[in-house]
Amino acid sequence: MFIVCNQSSLKECLGIVSRVVPSRPTHPILGNVLLVAKENKLTLTGFDLSIGIKSSIECKVSVEGEITLPAKLFTDIINRLPDGDIFISIEDIELENPMVEIRSSSGVFYLRGVLAEEYPELPTAQENSFDLPVTPLIEGLKGTLFASATDETKQILTGVHITAKDNILEFASTDGHRLAVVKPSLEEETIIDDFELTIPNKALKEVLNIVANKETITLFSANNQLVFATDTTQLFCRSLDGGYPNYRQLLPNKFERNFNINRKTLIESLERISVFNDNKNTLVQFLLNDNDTINVSSDAKELGNARLIIPVELVVGQIRIGFNVKYLIEGLKAMNSQNIRFSMNESEQPVIITPVSGQQMTYLVMPVRIQD
Amino acid sequence: MFIVCNQSSLKECLGIVSRVVPSRPTHPILGNVLLVAKENKLTLTGFDLSIGIKSSIECKVSVEGEITLPAKLFTDIINRLPDGDIFISIEDIELENPMVEIRSSSGVFYLRGVLAEEYPELPTAQENSFDLPVTPLIEGLKGTLFASATDETKQILTGVHITAKDNILEFASTDGHRLAVVKPSLEEETIIDDFELTIPNKALKEVLNIVANKETITLFSANNQLVFATDTTQLFCRSLDGGYPNYRQLLPNKFERNFNINRKTLIESLERISVFNDNKNTLVQFLLNDNDTINVSSDAKELGNARLIIPVELVVGQIRIGFNVKYLIEGLKAMNSQNIRFSMNESEQPVIITPVSGQQMTYLVMPVRIQD
């Protein structure tokens, strides 16, 4: 192998690929990135056996070849080199662990590689393909990813459920305490074939990375193997098996109590009030018994307490209701509307928060019982 | 107590004082800050029994009084409040742990306090006083603090030795592996009385914080008690007992080998080369056998190695010599001259690095033996 590539392109590509390389790999080879130089392209691959990313940059290939290099060291070296040409070559490919020479204007690094044949093959899926426009994909993911479960034992709930039906895209996620549903608006001429998949949130976070500056991405699906592909990058993952909860039936459609509130003001107040609890699981109490303001308070018993008053509008009914402040803040931050609407029935029943304008998002939060 | 003060002034003052409040106090009361409201001033105090800071802001005092509050919670609350007036009052001072009300335009916080009488008295020193101009003080501290010992068992070496004699200020610090000596230039009319003190580096780091935007600071010294005082802030600490090593005799005055090198280029190269070692204690080897360039290399055995070539000037002699890369980088970063000079004798003897122009700084580094 002997190639010449550009430092900033290689740095960007390595940045995308190395994110999935595990810092404590189960097999040592998975701590490496695979480099394949072929037909004026350098393709890098990172893979943790559940998510794999393969991304290419253009480069001058004088001698084709392949090798794997320790991901962290290789990234550290490339990131610190000056912008400009980088020459990568292998000294003696006959060796089991050949030295790879990385030469730039500032000097030369030698890094010990491992032969590419030891690197596992990335699965592929090339059957059913769906072209997805990137803007609504980003909107859907940003509005739902935060509400999916992080606890791996919750299996299907660690994914985001994506449905395309009759040219309507819907994203949903829940961890059992809250549920986020987003229907991004599509441009009129967009046509999306019907599909229904639950995709691991870890993989979707990486999808957000690979679509930056792209317009469309193609999703290939075969059995439970998925590939997200842009012109330069492919991301492999597996869809989550099992039926996704029928979340639509959880959404109440009649409400006895409502109010509108400025989203940013409420976020600021909730952040102030969460001062009493480091892990942000503070219980916050809303007291609505006035048509102009709502009383937001938290009580940290021995330490102290706080009480903030926030203007509200279009008030219907009165209520005293408790929330986990973290769930509220995360949901409010995923919205972008200036004002939001709280819709409620009783203080133990699910609460629905929706943006007043713009974004089609529904956020359901289970209240927390207030101890008297 | 009932006072009205400004959020941003209080935030800044708390920021200075709370830095010395221990996060795991040996006595619970030391986790608090002391608030004293008197004569249109609010004075805050933080103290960990070795370093204490007392700082004041102007405020409207309607009722004088004093109380202590948990430093972290109080800081978190004040930092998150909007700029503007903050009203602080005590509900019932008869109680052992009275509630303190903190009211702003956005609402009200109640924080449980502890009576001020439980807070320890800060020692004072008001005998010998020395006025120090701030600019040379900062120059001296920034050029030496990094080279003092962080290991508390090294006692006297955890301080910076400051000497004022015949109107010359000299700062020195060493951890046994390297030595930094700085003589900041003074304006002609400056007069400083003679003194000689070794002051803990922890306290001097805080001194750097309290002198921001000040022109002079007064140092009071009585026995081993020291107070640094500006118009708004006093910092208390103790000087370190015991004789400071006679460092001047360690500085060689004749050299057989020399070269000049661009400081920034060398820092960049050393940072690149330290990629092979996470804790930055990499051994780096300099090979000087040419009049135009120096060969800087590091060998991480199994992982790989690196070799960078850097232009040099005014070369005298040849040498192969090893350094701890961390000591070099820290020293070079404390300098500000464009070019620096390395002066050496044999490869086991101390090396002197000096800025070629500007700053009067001498940095001595002990070389590391190179294993063949």
Alpha helices in chain B (DSSP H): 7-17, 71-80, 134-142, 201-210, 263-273, 325-333
Closest CA to A331 of A297, A296, A365, A368: A365
A272 inside 8 A of chain B by CB: yes
CA distance B37 to B43: 6
pLDDT for residue A248: 95
Kindly determine whether residue A107 and residue B272, on different chains, have CB atoms separated by under 8 Å. yes
Residue A48: how many other CB atoms lie within 10 Å: 17
Tokens of B121: 């008295």
Question: CA of B276: which chain A residue's CA is closest?
Answer: A73
CA distance A304 to A164: 49
* Residues of chain A with confidence (pLDDT) below 50: none
**Mean pLDDT across B176-184:** 96
pLDDT for residue A189: 82
pLDDT for residue A176: 93
Write a three-state SS string for B187-247. Answer: CCCCCCCCEEEEEEHHHHHHHHHHCCCCCEEEEEEECCEEEEECCCEEEEEECCCCCCCCH
Tokens of A117: 């044949």
pLDDT per residue over B104-146, tens digit each? 998 999 999 999 999 999 888 777 888 999 999 999 999 999 9
pLDDT per residue over B193-219, tens digit each? 899 999 999 999 999 999 988 999 999
Instruction: Compute the nearest-CA separation of B227 from chain A (Å).
Output: 34
Nearest CB to A308 within list B76, B107, B307: B107
pLDDT for residue A268: 94
Tokens of B92: 């019932």
- pTM for this model (two decimals): 0.89
- Asked if residues B70 and B13 have their Cβ atoms less than 8 Å apart, the reply is no
pLDDT per residue over B24-33, tens digit each? 999 999 999 9
pLDDT for residue A279: 57
B309 inside 8 A of chain A by CB: yes
pLDDT for residue A278: 60
What radius of gyration do chain A's Cα atoms show?
Answer: 25
Instruction: Compute the nearest-CA separation of B109 from chain A (Å).
Output: 4
Which residues lie across from B355 on neighbouring strands? B340
pLDDT for residue B278: 60
User: Is a pLDDT exceeding 80 seen at residue B366?
Assistant: yes
pLDDT for residue B344: 96
pLDDT for residue B291: 83
Tokens of A60: 């001058």
User: Is a pLDDT exceeding 90 seen at residue B102?
Assistant: yes
Q: Which residues of chain A neighbour B304 with C-beta distances below 8 Å?
A: 73, 99-100, 109-112
- Asked if residues B296 and B284 have their Cβ atoms less than 8 Å apart, the reply is yes
pLDDT for residue A280: 54
pLDDT per residue over B254-306, tens digit each? 999 999 999 999 999 999 998 887 655 689 999 998 889 999 999 888 889 99
Nearest CB to A80 within list B107, B111, B275: B275
| SS3 of residue B115 by DSSP | coil
User: Is a pLDDT exceeding 60 seen at residue B84?
Assistant: yes
- Asked if residues A272 and A288 have their Cβ atoms less than 8 Å apart, the reply is no
